């Protein structure tokens, strides 16, 4: 939990829950687990129990205590939609986000199906302007995990983003255009740390070309291995869109509709077994 963070695309983190388990290849060198496990057994430390699941009700009020508007990454040390996070906790976290419209919240998950089910429920009880300060994203590391993007793309009336970080596999960008076009922001970056895997240069180039062509903001974080970022773009979207433009494509492609697509929400098409 921090009013300051090294994560370049936000300016604060908020972790009412912490801890997680691996679900897919992107989790192999999970930075959050690495940090948390370093302190396992340290008495009275927030990570005394390492990366085990913990819920901190007192942290729920932190966003209300920050009077100055912030761009907040929700659960940077967990996955809010992990099956171990009880539904009542999800409701409480959402209540706090809805009550703190002076901030912008970013909810990023690898559990796209649970997020879609929950967000579709929330949307029934609120107006578009109640959630236009919340951004919903999926983390995608390789081609099979693009199924998460499909699920996200089908949630209408929300701000959507995808984080290809760490990108550890190749993605055929041209095969996924109709889903990528539904994204309001695309983030990409290599893995870091002692066991970092290489990023696919061709995928990065294809994403850059695609986002350029369709005017979707592209934030390229890093090549990894100390390689200079060069002139790669670090673009941000307009975080506070007018309520009537939420869920519309920033590239302005009015013909991009997924309405006739069969819904797959609720499936576990691409993800591995929980806890693998």
Which CB atom, from 17 or from 181, has the smaller least distance to ligand SF4?
Answer: 17
Q: Which residues pair with 217 in a beta bridge?
A: none
Which segment (15-23, 37-45, 90-98, 177-185) binds ligand SF4 by CB under 6 A?
15-23
Identity of the residue, 11 or 79, whose beta carbon is nearer to ligand SF4 in the bound complex? 79
Residue 23 engages ligand SF4 in binding (rule: CB under 6 A) = yes
CB closer to ligand SF4 out of 106 and 210: 106
Candidates 23-31, 57-65, 83-91, 175-183 — which segment interacts with ligand SF4 by CB under 6 A?
A: 23-31
Burial of 190 (0-12, 13-18, 19+ CB in 10 A): buried
Q: Which of the stretches 26-34, 150-158, 197-205, 206-214 binds ligand SF4 when contact is defined by CB under 6 A?
A: 26-34
Residue 26 vs 251, nearer CB to ligand SF4:
26
Please give the Cα distance from 117 to 140 (Å, whole number).
19
With CB under 6 A as the contact rule, the residue among 11, 79, 165, 271 that binds ligand SF4 is: 79
Report the distance separating Cα 83 and Cα 89, nearest Å: 11
109 Cβ contact list (under 8 Å, min separation 6): 79, 80, 81, 115, 137, 138, 139
128 touches 246 (CB < 8 A): yes
Burial class (CB in 10 A: 0-12, 13-18, 19+), 79: buried
Binding region for ligand SF4 (CB under 6 A):
20, 22-23, 26-27, 30, 32-33, 78-79, 110
């Amino acid at each position: 939990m921090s009013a300051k963070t090294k994560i370049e695309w936000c300016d604060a983190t908020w972790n009412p829950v912490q801890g997680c388990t691996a679900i897919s290849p992107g989790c192999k060198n999970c930075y959050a687990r690495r940090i948390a496990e370093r302190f396992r057994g340290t008495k009275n430390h927030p990570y005394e129990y390492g990366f085990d699941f913990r819920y901190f009700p007192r942290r729920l009020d932190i966003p209300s205590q920050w009077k100055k508007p912030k761009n907040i990454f929700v659960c940077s040390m967990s996955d809010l939609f992990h099956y171990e996070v009880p539904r009542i906790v999800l409701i409480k976290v959402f209540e706090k986000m809805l009550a703190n419209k002076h901030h912008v919240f970013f909810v990023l998950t690898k559990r796209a199906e649970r997020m879609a089910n929950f967000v579709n429920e929330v949307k029934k009880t609120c107006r578009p302007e109640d959630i236009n300060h919340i951004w919903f994203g999926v983390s995608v590391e390789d081609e099979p995990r693009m199924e998460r993007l499909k699920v996200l793309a089908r949630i209408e009336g929300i701000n959507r983003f995808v984080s290809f970080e760490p990108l550890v596999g190749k993605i055929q960008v041209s095969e996924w255009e109709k889903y990528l076009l539904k994204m309001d922001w695309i983030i990409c970056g290599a893995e870091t740390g002692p066991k970092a895997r290489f990023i696919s240069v061709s995928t990065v180039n294809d994403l850059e070309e695609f986002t350029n062509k369709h005017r979707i903001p592209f934030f390229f974080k890093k090549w990894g291995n100390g390689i200079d970022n060069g002139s790669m773009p670090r673009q941000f979207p307009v975080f506070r869109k007018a309520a009537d433009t939420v869920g519309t494509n920033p590239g302005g492609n009015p013909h991009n509709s997924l309405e006739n697509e069969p819904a797959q929400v609720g499936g576990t098409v691409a993800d591995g077994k929980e806890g693998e």
